């Protein structure tokens, strides 16, 4: 679940990065394309105006009275439709005097006269301007000066030729193009975002798989990370598996060492206590002291070794212990060890799929101690049953012995307290079982058994 937390999410990092790039590229592309198109349309607009101007220049003649006139009307039909947006006008200029504007005008101008800027282009020059035309619209305009020397009356005349067109002829296609362009780019961007999402989803799939596999290892379903992972993740998986193996080895070593220590200490203790109990030494003060101290040493040793072994477990992930074989093995052992008691040991059917999330040795230690206790105290009957309840294993061990008073139950679970000094090891056994169970997040509960004696309930995490 940590993988999708907003702050450190790889997915959000990748998506955010991709989104920024997609947005930036689309904006740059859109802006670039739009300005290219605009330049093109503007160039065409002015080229058309120049064509009109050229035609005007070619058709300009003087009639017999020296007035300007056109030899032929200009070909573009828009020039004859009123307020069509395409206009021309010819002004007559006089040196040192204000020009006579609108001596000839296109039909499209109707009764409007274009206000001309106060400049005079030199011969051959073309000037561009923006002016206000009919109906207050902005026009783009080109002008050129033409001087006609070959006149009927011999006086040369100057004219200013103007071709103009509504700027909307230029802006409209650009805005239409922009609309279509942004729509197309929007669709493209949407597609890219979806592609990025899919890519991130596919690209991060191995991480999700790893996450699932880790979960299975933790719940004890798998012993190690399994499956094919991409080359970038595989080293991580291999190292993790190596750590798991190493962990298990360390635990095994610690257990072996604890066992060796037990062996090394207990044999000399046996020698001491046997010597103290020999017929010639028995009942002397020294022998009583030795027996007493050996007993204390033994209890301390048992307690701390059990603790050491349990601590070594360190809850290795990936361990799973099926319940049934462990119970069967222990019951076989109990039948031998308590053979003289002629007990009826009954195992209620245990589902073969029930498993403990932990080490087999720890389960044996806990169950073994509880069963051993039950066998010591039972009159005739011991019964074992197990089930899964509320996500936990509940293993019930019932006996038909004398049971324990409620106020004693709490005490026997405390370390080293023994319910009856006559039955060796019982108190210690329960304390160790409870300690071990608690390391696994479980516990031991004592209750009245329907058989009449004590019921011990061992609650442990269940493995899927």
Partner 1 sequence: MRILIVEDEPTLQAQLAKGLSAAGYAVDTAANGIDAHYLGDAESYDAVILDLGLPQMDGITVLRKWRAAGRTMPVLILTARDGWHEKVAGIDAGADDYLTKPFHMEELLARLRALIRRAGGHASAEMTCGPLTLDTCNGRATVDGQALTLTSHEYKVLAYLMHHRDEVISRSDLVGHIYAQDFDRDSNTIEVFIARLRKKLPPGLIETVRGLGYRLSAPP
Burial 330-359 (b: 16+ CB within 10 A, else e): bbeebeeebeeeebebeeeebeeebbbbbb
Token pair of 429 as six digits = 């056994």
| Binding-site member from 109, 161, 367, 428 for partner 1 (CB under 8 A) | 367
Question: Rounded to the nearest whole angstrom, what is the least distance from the CB of residue 329 to partner 1 in the complex?
Answer: 4
Of the listed pieces 206-214, 334-342, 395-403, 450-458, which binds partner 1 according to CB under 8 A? 334-342
Question: Rounded to the nearest whole angstrom, what is the least distance from the CB of residue 340 to partner 1 in the complex?
Answer: 5
Closer Cβ to partner 1, 203 or 295, answer by number: 295
Q: Which of 364, 334, 340, 380 is nearest to 458 (CA)?
A: 364
Question: Rounded to the nearest whole angstrom, what is the least distance from the CB of residue 439 to partner 1 in the complex?
Answer: 16
CA 292 to CA 88: how far, in whole Å?
129
Closer Cβ to partner 1, 203 or 329, answer by number: 329
Closer Cβ to partner 1, 52 or 418, answer by number: 418
- Is residue 173 close enough to count as binding partner 1 by CB under 8 A? no
- Is residue 336 close enough to count as binding partner 1 by CB under 8 A? yes
CA 369 to CA 185: how far, in whole Å?
75
Question: Rounded to the nearest whole angstrom, what is the least distance from the CB of residue 221 to partner 1 in the complex?
Answer: 23
| Binding-site member from 76, 167, 365, 398 for partner 1 (CB under 8 A) | 365
Closer Cβ to partner 1, 173 or 360, answer by number: 360
Q: Mark residues 33-52: x for contact with partner 1 by CB under 8 A, - for none.
A: --------------------
Closer Cβ to partner 1, 74 or 323, answer by number: 323
- Is residue 369 close enough to count as binding partner 1 by CB under 8 A? yes
Token pair of 458 as six digits = 């061992």
CA 297 to CA 247: how far, in whole Å?
31
Task: Find out whether 48 and 165 touch, Cβ atoms under 8 Å.
Answer: yes
Question: Tokens 């592609």 sit at which residue?
Answer: 195
Question: Rounded to the nearest whole angstrom, what is the least distance from the CB of residue 430 to partner 1 in the complex?
Answer: 14
Helix, strand or coil for residue 26? helix
Question: Rounded to the nearest whole angstrom, what is the least distance from the CB of residue 277 to partner 1 in the complex?
Answer: 6
**Cα 269 from chain centroid (whole Å):** 60
Q: Which of 15, 19, 11 is nearest to 189 (CA)?
A: 19
Interface with partner 1 in residues 245-284 (CB under 8 A): 259, 262-275, 277-279
| Binding-site member from 111, 123, 232, 340 for partner 1 (CB under 8 A) | 340
Closer Cβ to partner 1, 22 or 294, answer by number: 294
Task: Find out whether 371 and 331 touch, Cβ atoms under 8 Å.
Answer: yes
CA 392 to CA 357: how far, in whole Å?
10
Sign for the pseudo-dihedral over CA of 40, 42, 45, 48: negative
CA 15 to CA 194: how far, in whole Å?
10
DSSP element (H, E) containing 11: helix 10-59
DSSP assignment string, 187-222: HHHHHHHHHHHHHHHHHTHHHHHHHHHHHHHHHTS-
Question: Rounded to the nearest whole angstrom, what is the least distance from the CB of residue 263 to partner 1 in the complex?
Answer: 4
Closer Cβ to partner 1, 7 or 336, answer by number: 336
Number of residues binding to partner 1, judged by CB under 8 A: 38
Closer Cβ to partner 1, 97 or 339, answer by number: 339
Q: Mark residues 295-324: x for contact with partner 1 by CB under 8 A, - for none.
A: ---x---x------x---------------
| Binding-site member from 342, 349, 391, 405 for partner 1 (CB under 8 A) | 342
Closer Cβ to partner 1, 339 or 405, answer by number: 339
Q: Which of 367, 363, 385, 386 is nearest to 375 (CA)?
A: 367
Of the listed pieces 15-23, 119-127, 313-321, 329-337, which binds partner 1 according to CB under 8 A? 329-337
DSSP assignment string, 344-380: EEEE----TT-EESS-HHHHHHHHHHHHHHHHHH-SS
- Is residue 339 close enough to count as binding partner 1 by CB under 8 A? yes
Of the listed pieces 23-31, 153-161, 336-344, 378-386, which binds partner 1 according to CB under 8 A? 336-344
Q: Which of 463, 215, 433 is nearest to 321 (CA)?
A: 463
Number of C-beta neighbours around residue 280 at 10 A: 7
| Binding-site member from 333, 385, 392, 402 for partner 1 (CB under 8 A) | 333
Helix, strand or coil for residue 62? strand
| Binding-site member from 281, 337, 347, 417 for partner 1 (CB under 8 A) | 337
CA 295 to CA 359: how far, in whole Å?
30
Give the binding site for partner 1 (CB under 8 A). 259, 262-275, 277-279, 294, 298, 302, 309, 329-330, 332-333, 336-337, 339-340, 342, 360-361, 364-365, 367-369
């Amino acid at each position: 679940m940590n993988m999708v937390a907003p702050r450190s999410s790889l997915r959000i990092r990748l998506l955010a990065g991709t989104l920024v790039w997609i947005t930036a590229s689309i904006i740059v592309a859109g802006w670039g394309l739009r300005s290219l198109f605009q330049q093109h349309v503007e160039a065409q607009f002015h080229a058309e105006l120049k064509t009109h101007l050229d035609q005007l220049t070619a058709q300009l003649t003087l009639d017999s009275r020296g007035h300007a006139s056109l030899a032929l009307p200009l070909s573009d039909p828009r020039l004859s439709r009123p307020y069509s947006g395409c206009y021309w006008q010819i002004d007559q200029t006089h040196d040192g005097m204000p020009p006579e504007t609108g001596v000839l005008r296109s039909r499209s101008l109707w009764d409007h006269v274009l206000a001309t800027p106060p400049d005079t282009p030199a011969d051959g020059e073309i000037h561009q301007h923006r002016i206000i035309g009919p109906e207050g619209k902005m026009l783009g305009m080109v002008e050129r000066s033409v001087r006609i020397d070959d006149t009927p009356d011999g006086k040369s005349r100057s004219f200013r030729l103007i071709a103009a067109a509504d700027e909307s002829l230029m802006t409209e296609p650009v805005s239409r193009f922009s609309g279509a362009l942004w729509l197309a780019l929007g669709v493209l961007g949407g597609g890219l975002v979806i592609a990025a999402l899919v890519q991130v989803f596919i690209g991060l799939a191995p991480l999700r798989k790893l996450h699932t596999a880790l979960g299975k290892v933790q719940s004890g379903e798998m012993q190690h990370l399994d499956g094919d992972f991409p080359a970038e993740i595989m080293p991580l998986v291999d190292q993790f598996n190596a750590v798991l193996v190493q962990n298990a080895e360390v635990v095994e070593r610690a257990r072996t060492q604890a066992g060796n220590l037990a062996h090394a200490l207990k044999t000399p203790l046996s020698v001491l206590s046997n010597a103290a109990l020999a017929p010639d030494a028995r009942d002397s003060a020294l022998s009583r002291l030795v027996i007493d101290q050996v007993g204390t040493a033994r209890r301390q040793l048992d307690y701390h070794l059990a603790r050491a072994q349990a601590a070594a477990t360190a809850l290795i992930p990936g361990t799973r212990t099926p319940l049934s074989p462990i119970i069967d093995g222990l019951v076989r052992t109990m039948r031998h060890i308590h053979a003289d008691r002629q007990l009826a040991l009954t195992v209620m059917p245990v589902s073969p799929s029930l498993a403990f999330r932990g080490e087999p040795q720890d389960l044996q230690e806990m169950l073994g101690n509880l069963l051993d206790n039950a066998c010591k105290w039972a009159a005739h009957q011991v019964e074992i049953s197990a089930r899964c309840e509320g996500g936990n294993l509940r293993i019930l061990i019932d006996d038909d012995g004398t049971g324990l008073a409620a106020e004693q139950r709490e005490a026997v679970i405390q370390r080293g307290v023994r319910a009856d000094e006559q039955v060796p090891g019982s108190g210690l056994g329960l304390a160790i079982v409870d300690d071990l169970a608690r390391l696994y997040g479980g516990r031991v509960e004592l209750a009245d058994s329907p058989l009449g004696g004590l019921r011990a309930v061992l609650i442990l995490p269940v493995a899927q």
